Structure 1
Amino acid sequence: MTLPPLNALKAFDTAGRHQSFILAAQELHVSPASISRFIKQLETNLGLTLFARHANGVSLTEQGEQYLLAVQPSLQTIAAASERFRQQNVKTKLKIVAIPAIAETWLVNRLWSFQQQHEEIQINLVVDDQLVVDDQLVSLHPNEATIVLNYSHGDRVGADCFAMPKDRLSLVCNHEVAQTLKQPSDIYQHNLLVDADWKEDWYAWLKAATLPTKLPEKYQEFERYSMVLHATLAGLGVAIGHTALLKSYLKTGALVAPFDVQATSTKQFYAVVAKNTQRASVKAFINWFIGQPHF
């Protein structure tokens, strides 16, 4: 039995899926020239032309399409079998890439709970400010143990998005500040504490409270939600609380929601994973994150 070079097969599979040497190179962390060499090596080995080269890129030939369909199941079988044996001997690693708000105000305080249930999983938590702008920056693949935690519409193409229990927007403050608030308009006696990326949360709550839907000329702005939280706990003003993140603070009385006024956002907190994920660690985290078995 004579097999083609496995590195060339992997490059072909990746380039075939993307119909691009450049995107394949990005996924495999090599240069486009390396992908081109691997493809040429495979074409020589097979005596076939797998890609048609164009001025603006490449495309699979008819033979290339047929060969891709033929080898992909075998490559997936090899990958799955290798992963099963790898997991038997190595502690499973799970990478979680999260926006600061989720990581700093919610996840860090709860990771012990997840890890007590899943001692076999080693978590690498990465905080990425850029996810607030574009969660596509983190690539997702069914055979990779990567999860993105973001605040979005849950509509990322090619991914499955799992929402936290329903998030609501409520005005929050500490107990001392709450004693000075008799009606919603009293909030202007205090600093309005604002997350620079989530000003629309304030607009939504002000509208629900039938107050002018604009911020006053003077308000305190922070670049991270965790800063807003700590300022609120310290009594520096009032803030918009995401109930999904601040449930424990409200339950213990560290924060108070002085008014029975809540608003909803068009966005929610989501755990985003590759569609049809194959990783047991990803499935375990999703079940824990949404509070009920899904997988």
Structure 2
Amino acid sequence: MYRRLPPLNALKAFEAAARHLSFTRAADELFVTQAAVSHQIKALEDYLSMKLFLRRNRTLLLTEEGQAYFLELKDIFKNLQEATEKLLAKGSKGAVTVAMPPSFASQWLVPRISKFSQAHPDIDVRIKAVDFDEGFLDDDVDVAIYYGKGRWSGVNADKLHTEFLTPLCSPMLFNGPKPLNNLSDLKHHVLLHDSSRAAWKDWLKNVGVQGVNVNQGPVFSHSMLVLQAAALGQGIALGNTVLARPELDAGRLVIPFEEKVESRDAFYLVCDETQAELGKIAAFRSWVLTQVEEEQDVL
């Protein structure tokens, strides 16, 4: 049969007194009198029908039973404190920490973050622009943006935009001396690559174009660097329509051809599956998904 637990105040008094081996120091920590701590310990000993402390020459010692009880309780109190701090951190106010690739941070979130701040003035967004593999999410991050196929265990993953890959270039290049009338004209231009040359190779295969040398042109570590190089007229990028939107809207980049290929990967908003509907995480998640829904039709 379930037995009623001892009063929490008595347990707190015991844990503090056992940790300090002093009723006086426990009283100072708990902001009560020494007599109150002594009273709580006596009540707990009566409840348990055993002695928890011994007094030897003005020294406070734990009995064998008291030592065993303390070792169990100290972990319980530590876990309780950590659970409370975690809950408060996930509450409806404060700060939400979001980790994401630098390109997504600079090209998508940063231009829109003021809208979130206006809608949720009590929540500060802390952006961590980091390079990481699929599946990165730790205790210091409330929400992350992953890029991949959406298959991660133990997390809630919301697909963001349906993305398309298409050639992008500066208006200077488009209107320059080398024509860009059809896809075969790509062979006359420098190709810009994001991380590897495989993307251009796969894209040209999908649209049925041959004779373009994909083994030429610089390779950049981040998508935003590829877009910057293209905007400066350094060559033609194979751009993600989501990340390229600021440059396209500003006229720094243009889409020279109608052909585009849907990307097999996408950006996903990811959080702990137990936290998706709680407090500030739910607020940020809802805002991002609303933004995406409003923008999808113009991509």
TM range (shorter): 0.5 to 0.7
- Following TM superposition, by how much is the alpha carbon of 1:188 offset from its aligned partner in structure 2, in angstroms? 2.0
CA RMSD of superposed structures (Å): 3.7
8 Å contact from structure 2 (residues 96, 126) kept in 1: yes
Letter matched to residue 79 of structure 1: T
Match of 2:147 in 1: 151
Indicate the residue corresponding to 1:64 in structure 2.
none
Q: What is the distance in 2 between the residues matched to 1:114 and 1:43?
A: 52
Select 1:272's aligned residue among 270, 279, 291: 270
Aligned mates of 2:211, 2:145 — CA distance in 1:
29
Deviation at 1:214, TM superposition (A): 7.8
One-letter identity of the residue aligned with 1:165:
H
C-alpha deviation, 1:205, in angstroms: 1.9
Task: Map 1:198-213 onto structure 2 (within 5 A).
Answer: 199-212=197-210
Q: Which of 251, 254, 257 is matched with 2:255 structurally?
A: 257
Asked whether 1:190 is paired with 2:189, we answer yes
SS in 2 for 1:245: coil
Q: How does 1:116-155 map to 2 (within 5 A)?
A: 116-129=118-131, 131=132, 133-136=133-136, 138-139=137-138, 146-155=142-151
Q: How much does 1:245 deviate?
A: 1.7
Superposed displacement of residue 46, structure 1: 8.1
Task: Write the distance in 2 (CA, Å) between the matches of 1:106 and 1:126.
Answer: 14
Contact 1:173 1:235 in 2 (8 A): yes
236, 239, 250: which one aligns with 1:241: 239
1:289 aligns with 2:285: no
Contact 1:106/1:245 (CA < 8 Å) preserved in 2? yes
Q: How far, CA to CA, are the matches of 1:293 and 1:108 in structure 2?
A: 14
State the distance in 1 between where 2:87 and 2:193 align.
Answer: 49
Is the contact between residue 191 and residue 237 of structure 1 (CA under 8 Å) also seen in structure 2?
yes
* 1:204 positional shift: 3.1
Would you say the 8 A contact 1:206–1:213 is kept in 2? no
Aligned to 2:22: none
The residue aligned with 2:11 is 3
Q: Please tell me the residue identity of whatever aligns with 2:171.
A: H
State the distance in 2 between where 1:201 and 1:262 align. 13
- Aligned partner of 2:157 among 156, 161, 165: 161
Letter in 2 for 1:157: S
Contact kept, 8 Å, 2:156 with 2:270, in 1: the verdict is yes
* Per-residue deviation, 1:181: 0.4
Note closer, same or farther for the CA distance 1:230–1:42 as it changes in structure 2 (3 Å cut). farther
> How do residues 54-65 of structure 1 correspond to structure 2 at under 5 angstroms?
none
Give unpaired runs (5+ residues) of structure 1: 7-40, 49-70
Choose the corresponding residue for 2:88, options 62, 83, 93.
Answer: 83
Q: Which has the larger radius of gyration?
A: 2
Equivalence for 1:44: 68
Provide the rounded CA distance (Å) in 2 between the counterparts of 1:289 and 1:43.
51
Distance 1:213 1:289, change over 3 A: farther
SS of residue in 2 equivalent to 1:108:
helix
1:216: Cα distance to partner? 2.9
Q: Which residue of 2 aligns with 1:35?
A: none
Distance 2:168 2:193 in 1: 12
The TM-score, its normalising length taken from structure 2, stands at 0.65
CA shift digits 1:8-47 (9 cap, x unpaired): xxxxxxxxxxxxxxxxxxxxxxxxxxxxxxxxx9992189
Q: What secondary structure is seen at the aligned counterpart in 2 of 1:155?
A: coil
Deviating more after overlay: 213-222 vs 224-233: 213-222
Q: CA deviation at 1:161?
A: 0.8
Over 3 Å counting, the alpha-carbon distance change for 1:80 and 1:95 in structure 2 is closer
Percent identical pairs in the alignment equals 24
State the shift of 1:3 in Å.
Answer: 3.5
Aligned mates of 2:123, 2:67 — CA distance in 1? 41
Structure 2 unaligned spans of 5+:
1-6, 17-64, 294-299
Q: CA deviation at 1:193?
A: 0.6
